[in-house]
Chains A and B, each alone.
Chain A
Amino acid sequence: MQGVMTPADIEAAQHLQHIHETPKSFVKHYVFSIDHKYIAKQFLWAGLLFLFFGGMLAMLIRWQWAYPGEAVPVVGNLLFPDTQGAITPPTYNTIFTTHGLIMIFFAITPIMIGCFGNFCIPLMIGARDMAFPWLNLLSFWIFALSQALVLASFCVELGSAAAGWTTYPPLASQVGTPGLGQSLMVLALFVTGVSTIMGAINYITTVIRFRAPGMTWFRMPGTVWGLWLTSILNALFVPVLGSAGLMLLFDRHFGTQFFLTGAAGGTGDPILFQHLFWIFGHPEVYILILPIWGFVIDFMSFFARKPAYWFRGSIYAMITVTVLSAVVYGHHMFVTGMSPLLGQAFMLLTLVISVPAEILFLNWLHTIWKGSIRLTVPMLFGLGTIFVFGLGGLTGIYLGTISTDLYLHDTMFVVGHFHLTMASAAFLGSFGALYLWFPKMYGRLMNPFLGKVHFWFSTVGLTLVFGFQMLAGYAGQQRRLYDPFQYSYLEGLQDLNRFTTYCAFALAIGQLAFVYNFFYSLFAGKRASQNPWELGTIEWTDCASPPVHHNFDRIPVVYRGPHEYNHPEVLEKLGRDWIGQTEEFDPAADAATSDEVAATA
């Protein structure tokens, strides 16, 4: 696809992906669809549903930390009739465990990767669909099966998983957490892993093989880069979690002792699980942030109406992080009795990651510097993402350094830190993406005022909640405590915890602005034009809102990068501050550029 674009190349691209007629039957159109845009929407709905579910679990945790053991107001009697609405310790264990697992694997992942990966990749690179549409269909329905397993785990005796989201044995063995619920949850993780790998293979192949003529690697938007790099990490490291999950299930049900030792009976190695878990688990946190970085690179340029500053540098930084993410997992295990020399190596590699992260930050700031910024809702969410990720990233340095980690390990500081990075940043970034692409998905505009209300409640709420959690942790409050204030040295933190809880409730109430906006706009929002944000990427310039079933009647030809804003010549000749990637501007110059690209590629 690189190289000089001859008419023959452009013609060949037209025949690469066939045009299929829009399915007419209800089932093929709405249930077992192979259309990437529809599968994206399925992932979106499935993810939003579980985001609500996980959010409600978070509220229960917050209530417990403000008023330990007291009856939960309003819904308490409904949820816990046996205790007149109070949360018992075993129930509490289930709540914080499932909150973590649901949010990571069944809410953020489907929204960010399942939805936007499916929706954006083909549209933004100029493809008619994914490389393997049937695999895409399977990927969603296998994911739906895993969600069903999660729901089923709540319905069995002794309840759902309760060994913490990291599922460490021996706590996660039958001795520590008896009952079918924990096993169903581990099985759900395995099944969702299969779905994720299928998606990853599809995304990687699509980007490699189905870019439109002229869409060179560095003409791809940051969004596509982020999703592509994430997919590589998914394809490589999710299988390791799968292996660990299988061994854990064998330990729980088939009498093996991979991870069992001591009182759990056996000669296994519990630390082995931690190795396998974090070999996957650390790339996982970058899996959840790389697409967001991609969104932010694009949003900053889109709405500062300037080219992205040192775009190549940002991409190289993301690639560097992708590589480094595979070799830093040991920093989760500093206190497991790891050799200090090995710990030092992991510490060094961990801290090195702040260099590419810093390059990304500086590039974002340079991009908006002196830009003609349009504070649209996606832009606000992008800026909010930078803010919370900055806070989370800086506090990560304390945790990546062994000496400070020994003190902060397993405190609320850790909880606040990772919620600012992989939860808040992923949350704000995904919602920014939803506000940006909603008009393209559903052909209607969302209300900007309600969007801004949602933004302020979310960003301020997230910052306060997780900022205060870090404060509590720094003051010595351990994570996962049922009643922190039964320890006299933590009594003084009760007011702080209560205030954090009020902030969390405000954050939750602010989400109603989104819920109303989403449903209202879905049915009665203003009709969106083809390009409401005045952007230059292919999905806005070459597709209707919403796009037709096969996206493009003719596969577009790409002449330039995704961030061409306020180019003086374009301003002069076309009278607007943007130009599409597929617009022929000056045929002679465009041809020369593509030759140049060919020569340097």
Chain B
Amino acid sequence: MSADAAAHHDGPMVYPDDRLYAKTTAGKIGMWIFLLSDGFSFSGLLLGYGILRGGSDYWGCFKEQAAELGCALEPAFGINFTALLTFILICSSVTMVISHSALESGDKKGALKYLGLTIMFGLMFLCGQAQEYFGTFEYFMHAVDGGHHPGLIAEGLVFGSTHYATTFYCITAFHGLHVTSGVIYLSLVWRALYLDKADANTVEIVGLFWHFVDLVWILVFTFIYLIPS
């Protein structure tokens, strides 16, 4: 067993220049396949949403429906607030891109800064979702616009009571889970980069995941919030 001595030590893998994939790393290919796969799990949920919504007589029990059918009153989603969250998420994608390009041009400090900003935007989005569900930041919200924002649960959007409520919670929570894992993943990459254990490729791969989470949110926002009842 005379192994090639040069192949023994660890170090960054140098991928041969492939005709189809150039120097694309295995990690990047693997992430793309995972994202396709994950896209299908979202589409399973969205398909369920579409079919249930298409088969329902009404979507959301608002004042008119409650008066007519006697159903328990449900709140409408706060489109303006969620649009702000969407904007935050898009900003996070921008900082993600800047971070990667900074690292590619050798600016590790800049890369760390923008990666940190991405993490911060991700956390802001999660806080926004907590406010939307539970009214966690009601005091702060009240200070901003003087309104009453107790969160959707307190306003009567009960998981399991109607398809309107259930699909909303399932899909946005599934997305929230992705944002949470994305923030954890980003933080691990930040630490690795800080300790010089990550390179531009690592940042690019986490970026792919982050952009996917962002893209899915734009679809979720369109389907769940924007399509009028």
Contact = CB atoms under 8 A, between A and B. Distances in A.
Contacts of B3: 19, 550, 553
Contact of B19 (A2, A18, A258): A2
B6 A14 contact: yes
Contacts of A583: none
Contact of B159 (A200, A238, A256): A256
B37 A258 contact: no
Interface stretch (A174-182, A201-209, A309-317, A533-541): A201-209
A241 B13 CA distance: 36
A16 B29 contact: no
Contacts of B33: 200-201, 204-205, 235
B9 A18 contact: yes
Given A19-B8, A236-B37, A244 B51 contact: no
A206 B56 CA distance: 46
B70 interface: no
Nearest to B29: A205
Nearest to B51: A272
B51 A240 contact: no
B19 A601 contact: yes
A243 B48 contact: yes
Contacts of A218: none
Interface in B12-46: 13-16, 18-21, 24-26, 29-30, 33-34, 36-38, 40-41, 43-45
A239 B19 CA distance: 31
B159 A258 contact: no
B16 A268 contact: no
**Looking at B37, B55, B163, which has the most chain A CB atoms within 10 Å of its CB?**
B37
Nearest to B41: A239
Contacts of A366: none
A2 B22 CA distance: 11
Given A16-B16, A240-B43, A235 B36 contact: yes
Contact of A258 (B9, B36, B38, B166): B166
A512 B2 CA distance: 42
A208 B30 CA distance: 10
B52 interface: yes
A111 to B, nearest CB: 23
A9 interface: yes
A447 B44 CA distance: 48
Contacts of A19: 3-4, 7-8
Given A272-B48, A275-B47, A276-B47, A201 B16 contact: no
A548 B4 CA distance: 14
B164 to A, nearest CB: 11
Contacts of B8: 18-19
A201 B34 contact: yes
B1 interface: yes
Contacts of A335: none
B196 interface: no
Nearest to B162: A267
Contact of A2 (B2, B20, B29): B20
B170 interface: yes
**Looking at B6, B13, B26, B170, which has the most chain A CB atoms within 10 Å of its CB?**
B26
Given A14-B7, A267-B56, A550-B3, A209 B29 contact: yes
Interface in A254-305: 254-258, 267-269, 272, 275-276, 279
Interface residues of B, number: 45
B166 to A, nearest CB: 5
A124 to B, nearest CB: 18
A13 B166 contact: no
B34 A272 contact: no
B37 A200 contact: yes
Contacts of A585: none
A304 to B, nearest CB: 33
A276 B1 contact: no
Contacts of B163: 257-258, 267-268
A118 B215 CA distance: 33
Nearest to A553: B3
Interface string A375-408: 0000000000000000000000000000000000
Contact of A237 (B21, B30, B40): B40
Given A12-B16, A554-B4, A210 B9 contact: no
B170 A15 contact: no
A407 to B, nearest CB: 29
**Looking at A13, A19, A275, which has the most chain B CB atoms within 10 Å of its CB?**
A19
A209 B7 contact: no
A165 interface: no
B159 A1 contact: no
A275 B45 CA distance: 12
Interface in A169-203: 197, 200-202
B48 to A, nearest CB: 6
A256 B48 CA distance: 13
Contacts of A279: 44, 47
A131 interface: yes
A1 B74 CA distance: 59
B159 A254 contact: yes
Interface string B147-187: 00000000000011011001000100000000000000000
A132 interface: yes
B167 to A, nearest CB: 8
A247 interface: yes
Contacts of A474: none
B28 to A, nearest CB: 9
B19 A3 contact: yes
B170 A209 contact: no
Interface in A410-426: none
A474 to B, nearest CB: 35
A250 interface: yes
A14 B19 contact: no
B30 A1 contact: no
Contact of A131 (B7, B11, B16, B26): B26
22 contacts: A1-B16, A12-B14, A17-B13, A131-B26, A135-B30, A201-B33, A205-B30, A205-B33, A209-B15, A209-B24, A235-B37, A236-B36, A239-B37, A241-B44, A243-B48, A254-B160, A256-B170, A258-B163, A272-B51, A272-B52, A553-B3, A601-B19
Given A19-B8, A255-B160, A267-B56, 7 more contacts: A16-B15, A19-B7, A201-B34, A202-B30, A237-B40, A246-B170, A269-B52
Please list the 9 inter-chain residue pairs (A to B) with the smallest Cβ-Cβ separation, ordered nearest first. A243-B44, A239-B41, A255-B160, A131-B26, A240-B44, A12-B16, A239-B40, A205-B30, A235-B37
